[in-house]
Amino acid sequence: MERPDWAPPGIDITMPSVARMYDHYLGGSHNFEADREAARKAMEFMPGLPKIMQANRAFMRRAVRFCVDEGVTQFLDIGSGIPTFGNVHEVAQRADSTARVVYVDHDPVAVAHSRAVLEGNDQAAAAYADLRKPRDILGSSEVGSLLDLDRPVALLLVAILHFVEDAYDPYAAVAELRDALPSGSLIAVTHASYEGIPVPQEQADGTVGVYKDIRNPLIMRSRAEIARFFEGYDMVEPGLVPMPHWRADTELAEEDPWSFSGFAGVGRGR
């Protein structure tokens, strides 16, 4: 398999990555054949996966604009993935030129490309860290230099928590991040669920199996289980809903049925 010039040293290009598969679903070019092959297998069971990813990105952009409108202009985007059109810093800094953004990912390709995209932007940075180790995130030089943790921060957890198995206690990780942020901070979450997927669960299980095979288990949680991530926060209207239903700025009748898979919500810290 030919190794692209842009691939960082030490990356195993034969092992699929969820960040690079996500990039492929969105039509990006920073992925390897192994990523594309795994994505194609996943789409055999859930052909609407690209629509789900697009709905995630659309929610993220609406949530960022909401945060800025609420006066929160600091963003900590964990599981940020590979840069594509309409990134957090682009949306936030378009709405408020003083907005600051720290991206966090544990995929070296995602971090390398984020840093390349952000070159020359002294109000945004990318950190190499893992959601399962919140202390590493909070103690990173990027967070230390860009974010003032005495002022409200918008914590973005978009399409990431469903890749953290219960054994790693994602609820505790989110609680640790929440407790490190001041009152008035916001949290935005999207999460995969069997609820809303327009195919039988048995068929969707085929996609879950693909992610398990590449050692990145996809954990489908119920609406009630997803709501637990908002403990300590007050839900912003309209609550925890299918992604297109969260403060939609388009006619929902135009949305693809796959877009309503899973849930999204924003909470405000007490």
Query: What domains, with CATH codes, occur in the chain?
Result: 18-269 (3.40.50.150)
Give the number of other CB atoms < 10 A from CB of residue 161. 22
* Beta pairing partners, 156: 77, 188
Question: pLDDT tens, position by position, for the chain (270 residues)?
Answer: 556 665 666 667 788 999 999 999 999 888 889 999 999 999 999 999 999 999 999 999 999 999 999 999 999 999 999 887 789 999 999 999 999 999 999 988 889 889 988 999 999 999 999 999 999 999 999 999 999 999 999 999 999 999 999 999 999 999 999 999 999 999 999 999 999 999 999 999 999 999 999 999 999 999 999 999 999 999 999 999 999 999 988 666 567 999 999 999 999 998
Q: What does the pLDDT read at residue 7?
A: 63
Q: What does the pLDDT read at residue 23?
A: 92
Q: Decide: 31 and 23 in contact? Cβ < 8 Å.
A: yes
User: DSSP alpha helices (H): ranges in the chain?
Assistant: 18-25, 33-45, 49-69, 88-95, 108-117, 134-138, 141-146, 170-180, 201-213, 223-227
Q: What does the pLDDT read at residue 4?
A: 63
Q: What does the pLDDT read at residue 251?
A: 61
Token pair 């299980």 is found at 205
Report if pTM > 0.75.
yes
For the four alpha carbons of 117, 244, 175 and 159, in that order, the dihedral sign comes to negative
The separation between CA 255 and the C-alpha centre of its own chain, rounded to angstroms, equals 21
The helix or strand, by DSSP H or E, that contains position 99, with its residue range, turns out to be: none
Give the number of other CB atoms < 10 A from CB of residue 169. 13
Q: What does the pLDDT read at residue 168?
A: 96
Q: What does the pLDDT read at residue 11?
A: 67
Q: What does the pLDDT read at residue 119?
A: 92
